[in-house]
Every structure is written in structure tokens, then in C-alpha cells.
């Protein structure tokens, strides 16, 4: 199923490559504006985009706004002034990206929104986004199945992201809808708002564990929040491997290197993976095709996948975090 999805894409990709070769004199320049490089997911994404651009012999101009939407808009204007041929932007939220789309449209420069879809607007843009709802739902459903198998009752907690970010909402809704049929077994007792911040997550989770010490089912809306989560669990004496007494069912989202090593070590039950390689290649491809005045569908969905203890071997090759984790291990061996 997934492989089928990739097929047309590979064809298109090859086509793009050919068309790139046909005009060797004019090197394309693409501006890549990221809201943040604070998490490994974003770093992996920008590196994957950079690799893809290099492979296609396209120059990349990078701009990082460090969480400030106004600054990001400035950076888009500057990219336009520098005369780039296309822009890939990962915006702070679904709203502030709209003036960026409009600015690009006015300058007649193609713009691709990476990972965070814009709110309704009359501008022209292409969005590449993981299907947050589906991936989150599939992840939590897998966890719920694990829970049912034990025959025990569960108390669940979710770490919610910044609700200004539509992805956070998708993941939260996926969590809720996945658990609805299991309400007899699993009761949601805590919803910790984190605004994607580790500090807020740590204090929120610590509080929640004090109020509900019997929480034993946790879904984090991003793997980025695992470090504070683990720290809080350790403090409460609840960080146990699968199969050990008192193990808390854990699920995450992103597919980062920490999640991979937690899976390997047996602490993590399931992780929803955004396919960074697909996303980055699709974004670059979309920008190139728009530059060539081809018609591109306005939303390209990354179906992603769930990685868990049962399919770890099989799926690790597609998990970006696994690649990073393994390459780090490799360097360690070489040393």
C-alpha cells in the first residue's frame, strides 16, 4: 500500500531530475525558511531538504526565524528581494503563514508550506503535510490494543501541543477518536498543555502524576517532549521496560532518534512516524514543478506509519530517527 504511494512519486522525481538537467546553465535557487530548528525533527527535515536540493543541483538559501512569526515574514520578504525561484516555508502556525503566501504570490514566486497547513485563504500554495490525525489515531489504537490484551484498567494522559498549530489539534483529535471505543478499559484523566515547550511539559506532567499517581497510558504529541516525560516518570518511579512490573504504556509522534532507541531498548510501545524523506522530496519536487508552471495538487499528504515492537525491524529503514541514531552508532564504532 505504502509502496504504491511512492511509485508515481518516484516517476515524477525522475522527470524533475531530467528537466533539471536540460537547463544546466541556469541554476535554480530556493529559499528555505524554517520557523525553528529547535527539535531534531526540524533539523532532520531541513537537512533532508538540503540533500534533495543538492541532488538536483539547486542552490539553497536558508533562513530561520527562531519562533517569531514577524521575523519570518521579514525573511520571506528578503528571500523575495534576493530573487529566489521558489520558497519552502515551515511556518509558526496556520494563520501567520497567510501574509507570506500572499507576498510570494504578489512576487509570482512558488511557495510550498512544509508540515503545517495554512488556514483557509485565497492565496496559491502547496502544502506538504503528514496526516497527523490518521497517524496519531493509528498509533494510539495500537497502544489501546496492547492495553486490552493485559485485561487491566488504564488511566491515560496526553501531552497536547500548541493549539495554534493545526498539527497539534490533529494529533489530539486522533488520540481522542482512537480511545473512544475503549472507554470501558481506558479513562483519559489528564490533558497536559505544553505549547511544544519542554519546560511546560515537565511541570505539567509532574503535576499530573502527583494528582493521578496511577496513570499508566501516556501519549506524547511529539517525541521532542520525551526527555521531560522520562524525567518525570523516573522521579515517580514509573519508567519501566515493557514486560516489567509497572510499565507505563508509552506512545509518541515524529519518529526521532530518541524514540528509536527507546523502541530498541523496550521502553516505548509505539511511535507515529512522519516520513521526513517523503516530505522533503515532495516539497522540493512541488516547488520545482510550480516553477515550471505545472499544476500541482494543493495538498500532498504524507501517510506516515506507525512503528512498534512488532514491526521494528521491518520499518526502521524508513524512520528518519533510526537513520540518525544508526549513523551515530556507526561513527562511534569507527572511532
- In the complex, the residues that contact other proteins under the rule CB under 8 A are 37, 61-71, 73-75, 77-78, 80-83, 92-96, 98-99, 107, 119, 162-164, 193, 195
Minimum distance from residue 80 beta carbon to other proteins (Å): 7
User: 64 vs 270, which CB is nearer to other proteins?
Assistant: 64
Nearest of 303, 15, 287 to residue 124 by alpha carbon: 287
Dihedral over Cα of 145, 147, 151, 154: its sign: negative
**Rg for the chain (alpha carbons), in Å?**
21
Minimum distance from residue 317 beta carbon to other proteins (Å): 31
Minimum distance from residue 77 beta carbon to other proteins (Å): 4
Minimum distance from residue 78 beta carbon to other proteins (Å): 5
User: 80 vs 202, which CB is nearer to other proteins?
Assistant: 80
User: 196 vs 305, which CB is nearer to other proteins?
Assistant: 196
User: 62 vs 177, which CB is nearer to other proteins?
Assistant: 62
User: 27 vs 70, which CB is nearer to other proteins?
Assistant: 70
Minimum distance from residue 95 beta carbon to other proteins (Å): 4
Amino acid at each position: 500500500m505504502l509502496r504504491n504511494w511512492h511509485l508515481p512519486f518516484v516517476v515524477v522525481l525522475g522527470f524533475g531530475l531530467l528537466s533539471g538537467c536540460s537547463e544546466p546553465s541556469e541554476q535554480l535557487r530556493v529559499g528555505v525558511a524554517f520557523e525553528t530548528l529547535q527539535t531534531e525533527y526540524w533539523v532532520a527535515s531541513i537537512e533532508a531538504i538540503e540533500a534533495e536540493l543538492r541532488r538536483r543541483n539547486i542552490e539553497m538559501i536558508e533562513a530561520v526565524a527562531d519562533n517569531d512569526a514577524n521575523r519570518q515574514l521579514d525573511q520571506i520578504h528578503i528571500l523575495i528581494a534576493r530573487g529566489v525561484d521558489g520558497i519552502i516555508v515551515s511556518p509558526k502556525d496556520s494563520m501567520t503563514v497567510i501574509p507570506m503566501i500572499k507576498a510570494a504570490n504578489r512576487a509570482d514566486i512558488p511557495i510550498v508550506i512544509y508540515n503545517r497547513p495554512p488556514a483557509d485563504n485565497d492565496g496559491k500554495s502547496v502544502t506538504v503535510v503528514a496526516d497527523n490525525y490518521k497517524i496519531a489515531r493509528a498509533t494510539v489504537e495500537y497502544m489501546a490494543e496492547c492495553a486490552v490484551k493485559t485485561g487491566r484498567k488504564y488511566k491515560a494522559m496526553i501531552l497536547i501541543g500548541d493549539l495554534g498549530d493545526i498539527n497539534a489539534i490533529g494529533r489530539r483529535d486522533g488520540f481522542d477518536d482512537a480511545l473512544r471505543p475503549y472507554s470501558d478499559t481506558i479513562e483519559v484523566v489528564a490533558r497536559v498543555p505544553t505549547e511544544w515547550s519542554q519546560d511546560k511539559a515537565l511541570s505539567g506532567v509532574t503535576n499530573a502524576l502527583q494528582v493521578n499517581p496511577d496513570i499508566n497510558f501516556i501519549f506524547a504529541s511529539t517525541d521532542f517532549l520525551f526527555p521531560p516525560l522520562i524525567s518525570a516518570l523516573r522521579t515517580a518511579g514509573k519508567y519501566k521496560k515493557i514486560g516489567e512490573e509497572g510499565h507505563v504504556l508509552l506512545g509518541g509522534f515524529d519518529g526521532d532518534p530518541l524514540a528509536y532507541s527507546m523502541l530498541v531498548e523496550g521502553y516505548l510501545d509505539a511511535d507515529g512516524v512522519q516520513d521526513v524523506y517523503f516530505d522533503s522530496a515532495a516539497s522540493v519536487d512541488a516547488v520545482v514543478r510550480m516553477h515550471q508552471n505545472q499544476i500541482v495538487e494543493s495538498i500532498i499528504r504524507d501517510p506516515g506509519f506507525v512503528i512498534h515492537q512488532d514491526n521494528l525491524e521491518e520499518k526502521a529503514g524508513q524512520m528518519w530517527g533510526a537513520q540518525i541514531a544508526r549513523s551515530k552508532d556507526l561513527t562511534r564504532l569507527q572511532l
